[in-house]
Amino acid sequence: MFIHRIPLLTVLCLRHKVSSSKHDVVIVGGGVIGLCCGWYLSAAGRKVTILHRDPSRKEACSDENAGMVVPSHFIPLAAPGVIGQGLKWMLNPKSPFYMKPRLDPALWSWCWKFFRHANSTHVENSKHLLSTISLESRRLFVELAEELDFDLIKNGLMMLCQTEEGLEEEAKVAVMAKEVGVEAEVCDAARVNELDPDIQMDVVGGVWFNQDCHLDPLIFMEKLREGIRSRDGVFLDAECKSFVRKNGRVVSIETEEGEFLDAEHIIIAGGTWSGELTKQLSLNIPMQGGKGYSLTLKKPAELPRLCSLLKEARVAVTPMGGKLRVGGTMEICGTDLSVSRKRIQGIIESFSKFFPAFKPTDFEGIEPWSGLRPCTPDGLPCIGPVPGLQNVTIATGHSMLGLSLGPVTGKMVSDLIISDKPDMDIDLSRLSPDRF
């Protein structure tokens, strides 16, 4: 399905008249972060109302992503070497990275902030925080899989490498992983084949992160919706246009049709569009959409047991039941959801080089999906209250980790609203929405 451009301030699509009755907790955004917040708040006894786009439009980044739960991703997006590699890739129309040039001061401000964070000091200061919340989120996923009855495949993730240089780089990551409590095994080609014997791979080796998991994101999100509805949660197809403030609180949300939702507490979890909304609350969150694509083979020639990332190609591969999802790219593009056929072809060609049983023609007739990852310039999410407002909490900016960090984000937001502090020992100021 192709995704059409939507206006910057359109976080939600208004489908019908919205009641003007009093609401307890209103969550702006019905993607995986908003749903996880709704799940844990409703479990704590709060009445939840979620404003969301029509799910049939499949515009949320959560819908058809790679479905990976990745404690292995403890290095933030802003890291050493990223900028140099990105500049090289900019010259290749099929590469996994692209930044769409445009005369936008917000883009260049974001780039400057990203440049300032892309260093080893930032990685060192962030890796323990990311690994801690990632491992906790993984633990919560295990609990949710049992409670909500969805398949969480705990086979681990294989970082596959086609070059010795790539394997050496990932071996260094494996050493760092062990330092922060993430299990990692450096594998030669024989060990890779032993762990995933059902698929042919043209690789020299890989790193197996055995705590990583995968799932079907659409099934997971539907289970969350069912659970929230079972606790009298309400879903409204409504567009948040503006906020009404009074005495240090947001007392109402105004919809596009001029109606108002009165709320005790508001959570902004609108993904890439959150930054446009928070500007109205005098909070600047620098945010750029990082566009990614996926294609799903319904009858793949072979089906791996493990999900994997292709090191040199930056392509994600996930088995989902009998299907196989292949995705990739990071296009810094604002809110442009148009599809680049050349980059789609790059994904397909790279995948076929790693897995020789597949041919590019296997993907003929498959319509690509695109989604926007909400990227902050330091690669860390924004979770916490809005300064100067007593009843607004932010949960956004998860970059490529929205699904993976969904449960821990929902739990932290619920804890903040219920008891003013998270139920885990972390420095939440590192994730403060006003840190920029």
| Structural domains of the chain sorted by starting position, each given as residue range(s) with its CATH number in brackets | 72-103+152-214+287-375 (3.30.9.10)
pLDDT in tens, the chain (436 residues): 333 333 333 333 333 444 456 789 999 999 999 999 999 999 999 999 999 865 444 445 667 899 999 999 999 998 888 888 888 888 788 888 888 778 889 999 999 999 999 999 999 999 999 999 999 999 999 999 999 999 999 999 999 999 999 999 999 999 999 999 999 999 999 999 999 999 999 999 999 999 999 999 999 999 999 999 999 999 988 888 899 999 999 999 987 777 788 999 999 999 999 999 999 999 999 999 999 999 999 999 999 999 999 999 999 999 999 999 999 999 988 788 888 999 999 999 999 999 999 999 999 999 999 999 999 999 999 999 999 999 999 999 999 999 999 999 999 999 999 998 888 888 899 999 999 9
What tokens were used for 190? 């024989």
Q: How many separate helices (H) and strands (E) can be counted in the chain? A: 10, 19
pLDDT digits (tens, 9 = 90+) for 191-225: 999 999 999 999 999 999 999 999 999 999 999 99
Please report where in the chains the tokens 């058809």 appear, as a residue.
Answer: 64
> What tokens does 5 get?
């451009």
The widest CA-to-CA distance across the chain, in whole angstroms, is: 65
Q: Which residues, 6+ apart, have CB-to-CB distance to 247 below 8 Å? A: none
Q: What are the tens digits of pLDDT across the range 229-242?
A: 999 999 988 888 89
Dist. CA 178–CA 170, nearest whole Å: 13
- Residue 156 burial (CB < 10 Å; 0-12/13-18/19+)? buried
Q: How far, in Å, CA of 277 to CA of 89, rounded? A: 32
Q: Which of 181, 248, 235 is nearest to 209 (CA)?
A: 181
Whether the Cβ atoms of residue 381 and residue 401 lie closer than 8 Å to each other: yes
Is the distance from CB of 166 to CB of 61 less than 8 angstroms?
no
Segment (H or E) for 85: helix 82-89
Q: How far apart are CA 48 and CA 25, in angstroms?
A: 5
Residue listed under structure tokens 């005790």: 264
- The residue type found at 35 is L
> Which amino acid type is present at position 341?
R
CB atoms within 10 A of CB 188: 13
Determine the angle formed by the axes of helices 217-230 and 120-148, rounding to 10 degrees.
60
Percent of the chain whose pLDDT exceeds 90: 77
DSSP H stretches of helix in 11-58 = 32-43
